[in-house]
Structure 1
Amino acid sequence: MEQYETLLAAVAAPAGDGREVFDPATGDLIAAAPADTTAALDDAVARAVAAQPAWAARSDEERRQALHRMADAVERSADALAELLSREQGKPLNGPNARFEVGACATWLRVTADTPLPTEVVVDDGTDYAELHYRPIGVVGVITPWNWPMLIAIWQIAPSLRMGNTVVAKPSEYTTLSGLALLAVLNQELPEGVLNPVAGAGDLGAALVVKPELGKIMFTGSTATGKRIIEASAGNVTRLTLELGGNDAGIVLPDADPVAIAENLFWGAFINTGQTCAALKRLYVHDSVYDAVCLALVEVAKAMPMGVGLDEQNVLGPLQNRMQFGVVDRLVEAAKASGARVLLGGEPDRDQPGNFYPTTLIADIDPQNPLVVEEQFGPALPIVRYSDVEEAIALANAADVGLGASVWSGDRDAARAIAARVQAGTVWINSHGGVHPMIPFGGVKQSGYGLEFGTEGLKSVSAPQVVNG
């Protein structure tokens, strides 16, 4: 089993080099993160190109077994990975946080390894015969975010490797150490050049996406950055999977039981302290149950401890960086200035060393308030009152993004009828944000395009080929 100190030493920059990384909960120095040059990026791409033919030549069964060995490696180092993730990203060890994320990495590797992708016979009528196969693309560039830096990396790396591609992976500059640590553990079970880490800021990512050697780019992050990737990669006609910004809506119908749904509502909004692309970010509640839902949410939220991630009792942590703290603070202050009612929180200690923003619930807020129409990406939930479900659907669909949404009701058929009218890649019923390695996931509108997970995820990192005859 890898120890925390050993793992950190393996990925940190030498003393005096790199960029200092501080714990977002305490302000303490963790280590220095390496920063690669464009020459190092060139070398990583060249290694990936050189290694790809031999990796693709392995049988599907051999690559599947490699993914299982990678899962074993993650499990062997789970404690060290979770500790580093908690220190650098800020998320607590417990709850749906650091230990959960590391465990999910192993699960996703195993399920991706075992997902079937048989050859499809598309025509066999006695005269014509054609099969649809899925071949490797070549080299896949992976650029991952800071909110779920290990799990989202696995979402992109595991199917890419399974399908015979090699990978160049760049973790976020905000969670470089966590990303590199995961890649180091995975590389214990892979041949040289199959999985190639690079570390740096946005300029390195920009240099990666224009590489003509890349056949595919997978990116999770903001819509603004996604648009730049589309433009930069267009000259190479590079395939893209983009999971971009979201501002997920939830609609609570009048027959919902406020107490029964309160905890699921809370975790839908506040998992990872609200720093999740497909978190519940604006909640529309029917007037007949509005006050009861607000009261039930406050009771759940008050019971959820927030603090330093390494303290075992905490389930909510700090915002990962001061920039995001500023975004949440600005939006909550705008809501307060408009006369919206603060049910809980809303008064951060701006002088503390950590980036803690208190769990905040805002009621009686105008549906056009900035806290509602902008993505806050933090622990502040606006709760909007409505009286006509048509109004709630229109408000939910007014955003230019559509990653996820949810409908809350005691009548599943009624909820599904509403869900069919909501413009989002996934609509959950009586829950929000849960993902499954066999259920396809992706957004609509400016939340990006392309599907991940399951069979569709394997297809997305493959080049389809028809064999006709």
Structure 2
Amino acid sequence: MSSSITPTTGHEAGTPGTVGGVVGAPSAARAAQLVRRADGGADSAPVEAVSPFTGLLTATLPQATDADARRVFAEARAAQAAWAARPVSERAKVLRRVYEKILKRQDEILDLVQVEAGKARIDAFDEVSAAALVAGHYGKHSARLLAPKRVSGLIPFLTRARELRHPKGVVGVITPWNYPVALTAMDVFPALVAGNTVVQKPDNQTALSALWLHELAEEAGLPAGVWRVVPGRGSRIGDAFAEESDYLCFTGSTPTGKDLATKIAHRLTGYSLELGGKNPMVVLPDAPVAKAAAGAVTACFSSAGQLCVSVERLYVHESIREEFTEAFVAKTKALRLGAELSYSADVGSLTTQGQLESVSAHVEDAREKGAEVLAGGRPRPDIGPLFYEPTVLTGVTEDITLFAEETFGPVVSIYGYHDVEDAIERANSGEYGLNASVWGRDTAAASAVAARLKAGTVNVNEGYAATFGTVGLPMGGMKESGFGRRNGAEGLLKYTEAQAVAVQRGMRLRPARAVSPRLWTRALTAGIRLLNRLPR
């Protein structure tokens, strides 16, 4: 299936019967059906979302007020006890059915993600695979991870100790526009299987994709009212999420994350934040140049660079820098830009006008201050209103804005280095620590470098997909790139409260009246020493 477009601007109606005026896209009636799944809508000013491919209308979204959001939280709280009372195995079955539905119905969501987010289809598939992997992983492992755990008691055979896990209650989830299916799945699915109800605020730009996944979950057996989707402006309903959530999961900018954390702090409730990144790749002197260059292209330009874990800094050893740069630039220039609902394009569009303006400003600032553009460096309105060429820069100095500031677009800078210690220090510089990549033939040496990088995830001979796709691994940021983790055991257990229960039998844990405290404490001291020698 393929579709070509004519670049246009404005919010006028698109091709009859389609979303966003893109031929082959889901129908306007289908979009309206998804919009009806949203909660709230008393705000008098709805939002018109447009397709990055065409600038044409994709959906008119009702916006919730603060009162709407608080009402939905109250209703979700009322529904939580019944959902938590179901066995974990039953809740996990819902996720396993969702897993099957995502894979079976992927063509529809691929179209929808492309139209809403402007992605190339291969990048849209990353969302399909990530969502399916998350549903499958927690559908398979949650019963084990949430099961009561026996712990060695204080006194063997006489102290029976267990760790129990209880759901937090109502989890608030705020998801961004750049990965509307994958990030919804990563945050919502483990919260649900842990026995919580969820209230989600998707970004208006890609709300249809989140609502599509919500529809699949209810078709798979999730009771109505357990997961609520509330589109709205952050300025109107952000306080409700901070004040009503028993746990809040946020993905977005570092300043907004800090603001939310400040508001949550006085309530003593939990939160996790995935925030900004300025992710480095270190290419070691023994790296296979062709493979490293190809890997860097994927790491830098997937989803047009609008991926929290994409690479924006390349540190290449001087012994191979010229060869690497030549190969990397050639591969970058060969990338195909396109707005088709097919696999014919390598790189899609930026998603919003604001992103286009930000990327353009970063590149122009670099040019004006002496950086050299080796590839790209310009918008492509002939393809679509928000397209920007994959861009490679060299000669980027500290006075240039994008040296340390996240661009969040298809722009990367190449730097040389002579000493690996220097490369590690420079890769670790700055306020962010989300993702990193290391390339080298000697994987043991590359792994040793990886372990010294201050990033929540580090990939060896890969850009980001190895850690991103391994759902059993925790994913999150160090420094100002975030707090807490998604995926792995921690990505499930963070949505629970740990409770310790111990049953004491036989021997009392205080001396009997006839036994002197001195004799008791001496006996207990000997017992403690003995316990430390026993296998646990």
- Aligned residue type for 1:443: G
- Aligned residue type for 1:208: A
Q: Distance in 2 between matches of 1:292 and 1:341?
A: 17
Question: Does the 8 Å CA contact 1:209/1:233 hold for their aligned counterparts?
Answer: no
Q: Distance in 2 between matches of 1:181 and 1:325?
A: 27
Alignment deviations for residues 266-290 of structure 1 (CA, whole Å, 9 cap, x no partner): 1111111100111111111111111
Q: Which moved more, 1:118-127 or 1:167-176?
A: 118-127
Shift of residue 108, structure 1, vs aligned partner: 1.5
Shift of residue 353, structure 1, vs aligned partner: 5.2
Q: Distance in 1 between matches of 2:157 and 2:432?
A: 47
2:486 alignment partner, one of 435, 449, 452: 452
Q: How does 1:201-216 map to 2 (within 5 A)?
A: 201-212=233-244, 214-216=245-247
SS in 1 for 2:243: coil
Alignment match, 1:106: 132
Shift of residue 72, structure 1, vs aligned partner: 3.4
Q: Distance in 2 between matches of 1:413 and 1:312?
A: 36
TM-score of the aligned structures, taking structure 1 as reference length = 0.94
Shift of residue 311, structure 1, vs aligned partner: 4.5
Q: Equivalent pairs: percent with the same residue?
A: 37
1:463 alignment partner, one of 497, 503, 512: 497
SS in 2 for 1:169: strand
Does residue 7 of the first structure (1) align with residue 30 of the second (2)? yes
- Aligned residue type for 2:474: P
Alignment deviations for residues 284-322 of structure 1 (CA, whole Å, 9 cap, x no partner): 111111111111112222232112142541121111101
Question: Does the 8 Å CA contact 1:412/1:429 hold for their aligned counterparts?
Answer: yes
Shift of residue 128, structure 1, vs aligned partner: 3.3
Alignment deviations for residues 43-97 of structure 1 (CA, whole Å, 9 cap, x no partner): 211221111000000001100111122233434542222212111111122x2x2
Shift of residue 205, structure 1, vs aligned partner: 4.2
Shift of residue 409, structure 1, vs aligned partner: 1.2
Question: Does the 8 Å CA contact 1:425/1:442 hold for their aligned counterparts?
Answer: yes
- Aligned residue type for 1:145: P
Structure 1 residues 259 and 399, CA, compared in 2 at 3 Å: closer, same or farther? same
Q: Which moved more, 1:350-359 or 1:428-437?
A: 350-359
1:89 alignment partner, one of 117, 124, 133: 117
User: Which segments of structure 1 move beyond 6 Å, counting only runs of 4 or more?
Assistant: none
- Aligned residue type for 1:119: P
Question: Does the 8 Å CA contact 1:332/1:346 hold for their aligned counterparts?
Answer: yes
Alignment deviations for residues 155-179 of structure 1 (CA, whole Å, 9 cap, x no partner): 0111001110000011012222222
Question: Does the 8 Å CA contact 2:94/2:222 hold for their aligned counterparts?
Answer: yes
- Aligned residue type for 1:450: G
2:96 alignment partner, one of 68, 89, 93: 68
Alignment match, 2:318: 287
1:43 alignment partner, one of 66, 71, 79: 71
Shift of residue 107, structure 1, vs aligned partner: 2.6
- Aligned residue type for 2:359: V
Alignment match, 1:183: 214
2:226 alignment partner, one of 194, 214, 218: 194
Q: Distance in 1 between matches of 2:151 and 2:161?
A: 6
- Aligned residue type for 1:9: A
Question: Does the 8 Å CA contact 2:380/2:386 hold for their aligned counterparts?
Answer: no
Alignment deviations for residues 99-121 of structure 1 (CA, whole Å, 9 cap, x no partner): 33124322311111112314333
Question: Does the 8 Å CA contact 2:456/2:475 hold for their aligned counterparts?
Answer: yes
Question: Does the 8 Å CA contact 2:339/2:383 hold for their aligned counterparts?
Answer: no
- Aligned residue type for 1:25: F
- Aligned residue type for 2:50: F
Alignment match, 2:527: none
Shift of residue 122, structure 1, vs aligned partner: 2.8
Q: Distance in 1 between matches of 2:223 and 2:344?
A: 40
Shift of residue 420, structure 1, vs aligned partner: 2.1
Question: Does the 8 Å CA contact 1:294/1:363 hold for their aligned counterparts?
Answer: no
Q: Distance in 1 between matches of 2:411 and 2:114?
A: 21
Structure 1 residues 422 and 205, CA, compared in 2 at 3 Å: closer, same or farther? farther
Shift of residue 243, structure 1, vs aligned partner: 0.8
Alignment match, 2:46: 18
Question: Does the 8 Å CA contact 2:80/2:196 hold for their aligned counterparts?
Answer: yes
Alignment deviations for residues 187-224 of structure 1 (CA, whole Å, 9 cap, x no partner): 33311210011001212441332334x21000111111
Q: Distance in 1 between matches of 2:340 and 2:214?
A: 22
Does residue 419 of the first structure (1) align with residue 450 of the second (2)? yes
- Aligned residue type for 1:460: K
Q: How does 1:37-436 map to 2 (within 5 A)?
A: 37-93=65-121, 95=122, 97-115=123-141, 116-117=144-145, 118-124=147-153, 125-188=156-219, 189-212=221-244, 214-349=245-380, 354-366=385-397, 369-434=400-465, 435=468, 436=470
Q: Distance in 1 between matches of 2:58 and 2:137?
A: 33
Question: Does the 8 Å CA contact 1:438/1:453 hold for their aligned counterparts?
Answer: yes
Q: Distance in 2 between matches of 1:342 and 1:417?
A: 33
Question: Does the 8 Å CA contact 1:4/1:80 hold for their aligned counterparts?
Answer: no
Aligned residues: 464
- Aligned residue type for 2:315: Y
Q: Which moved more, 1:160-169 or 1:365-374?
A: 365-374
SS in 2 for 1:227: helix
Q: Distance in 1 between matches of 2:67 and 2:382?
A: 41
Does residue 437 of the first structure (1) align with residue 471 of the second (2)? yes
